[in-house]
Structure 1
Amino acid sequence: MCVAGHPVAQLAAPSAELMTTSEGVILVDVATGSQAWTEPVENGWQVHQHGPLRLWNAVEDALSAWQDAGSPPQSDFGMTVDVDGTQRVWIGTPEGPTWRLPV
């Protein structure tokens, strides 16, 4: 599975854009300029990251949280808007795995 192409990946890196090349994938966060890209190596892929955000790590962490929650369907996701306007997407319950959305 390409972690960068999964819908949960967008929650982990909401201002990132995904580009595919013949050599791999590139994530670019338009808000911070952070980048993550893959390149093929002998038996798999090498990931490189640059900038203040570790985009690939964030995407992998989000996918792990989703898998740990049983890989639920989209209907198991919810959204809460806090009193201060903070928007959060969560799995199962507001106390479950949570991602903050940019304002």
Structure 2
Amino acid sequence: MFARPHDRPPRPTPALLPGDERPSRIDPAKLDDWTGGWVAQLAAPSAERMGAGAEQILWDVSTGSQARTAPNPKVAWTVVQRGPVRLWDRVERTVRRWQVADEPHQEKFGMTVSAVGQRVWLGTEDGPGWGLPI
């Protein structure tokens, strides 16, 4: 049986506001890779991603947090973040963990679902993992 298709709830147009700027520790274009984008979503499950290549935007409507990246000839890429959740910090940690593991495909990940929560893990259940909202 097919699920009934529906649009996402209406949301306001994002206003890219000033914030804290620093060099990015990862290439933002890694999020364009199918698995790289999926791994980034594990780090910020409630954020929406817009953009491509060096110019990525993450926006969490529920918290108002946002992060945006841009090319910078001096440091490769910069990121500007604002809000209570440092979205790009979370994405960087998760993507770097995936890179250290030699960027495995999604088939190398697993998921455990229990009465206390959901967790996606890499390699084995006790390997690196990410708790998901329930």
Q: TM-score normalised to the size of structure 2?
A: 0.67
2:98 is matched with which residue?
Answer: 66
**SS in structure 2 opposite 1:35?**
strand
**SS in structure 2 opposite 1:27?**
strand
| Contact 1:11–1:99 (CA under 8 A) maintained in structure 2 | yes
Quick check: which has more Rg, 1 or 2?
2
- Backbone CA RMSD of aligned residues: 2.1
4+ residue runs of structure 1 moved beyond 2 angstroms?
Answer: 3-6, 39-45
Q: TM-score normalised to the size of structure 1?
A: 0.85
Q: Mapping of 1:1-103 within 5 angstroms? A: 1=27, 2-5=29-32, 6=36, 7-20=38-51, 24-43=55-74, 44-84=76-116, 86-103=117-134
Q: Distance in 1 between matches of 2:105 and 2:96?
A: 15
**SS in structure 1 opposite 2:64?**
coil
Q: Say which structure is richer in strand.
A: 1
| Stretches of structure 1 lacking an aligned partner (at least 5 in a row) | none
Q: Taking every aligned residue pair, what percent have the same amino acid on both sides?
A: 52
